[in-house]
Amino acid sequence: MNNTAGSYALVGAKVSRESSVVTRLRDAGAIILGKATMGEWAQCRSRKASSSHGWSAYGGQVHGAYYPQQDPSGSSSGSAVAVSIGLALGSIGTETSGSIVNPSERSNVVGIKPTLGLTSRDMVIPISLRQDTVGPIGRTVKDAAYMLTAIAGKDTFDNWTSTQPYDVAPDYVKSCNHLGLKGARVGIPRNGIDFHLDDSTKPVMAAFEKAVQTVREAGARVIEEANFSSYDAPAFARNSSVVLDTDFVAGLSDYLSQLTTNPNNVRSLSDLARFTRSHPHERYPDRDTYVWDRQLGRNITSSSPESWAAFQANLLIGGEQGVVGALDRHKLDALIMPTFASFHLPAIAGLPIVSVPLGFYPAQTPLKMNPKKTTVAVAPNIPFGIAFVGRKWSEEKLISLAYAFEQRTMVRRKMKPYIQPTFELSDQLEPTEETPYKLKVQYRPPVTGPRRVARGILQKAISRLFSVRTWVWSVFGFAQSLM
Walk along the chain (483 residues) and give the pLDDT tens digit of each residue: 889 999 999 999 999 999 999 999 999 999 999 999 999 999 999 998 999 999 999 999 999 999 999 999 999 999 999 999 999 999 999 999 999 999 999 999 999 999 999 999 999 999 999 999 999 999 999 999 999 999 999 999 999 999 999 999 999 999 999 999 999 999 999 999 999 999 999 999 999 999 999 999 999 999 999 999 999 999 999 999 999 999 999 999 999 999 999 999 999 999 999 999 999 999 999 999 999 999 999 999 999 999 999 999 999 999 999 999 999 999 999 999 999 999 999 999 999 999 999 999 999 999 999 999 999 999 999 999 999 999 999 999 999 999 999 999 999 999 999 998 887 665 555 555 544 444 444 444 444 443 443 333 333 332 222 222 233 333 444 556 665
Instruction: Evaluate whether 244 touches 75 at the Cβ level (below 8 Å).
Output: no
Measure the CA–CA gap between 403 and 410, rounded to whole angstroms: 10
Rounded Cα gap, residues 13 and 9, in angstroms: 8
Q: What is the DSSP letter of 40?
A: G
Other Cβ atoms within 10 Å of 65 Cβ, number: 27
CA atoms within 13 A on the CB side of 73: 26
pTM: predicted TM-score of the whole model, two decimal places: 0.89
Residues 374, 377: Cα–Cα separation, whole Å: 9
CA-angle at 343, arms to 108 and 119, nearest 5°: 85
Q: Is 438 exposed, middle or buried (0-12, 13-18, 19+ CB in 10 A)?
A: exposed
How far, in Å, CA of 91 to CA of 483, rounded?
13
CA distances from 59 to 3, 63, 77, 116, 211 (A): 12, 12, 11, 28, 37
For residue 23, which amino acid is it? T
Which amino acid is residue 481, in one-letter code? S
Helix or strand holding residue 421 (H, E): strand 419-421
At 1 the pLDDT is 83
Q: What is the DSSP letter of 470?
A: T
User: pLDDT per residue over 344-397, tens digit each?
Assistant: 999 999 999 999 999 999 999 999 999 999 999 999 999 999 999 999 999 999
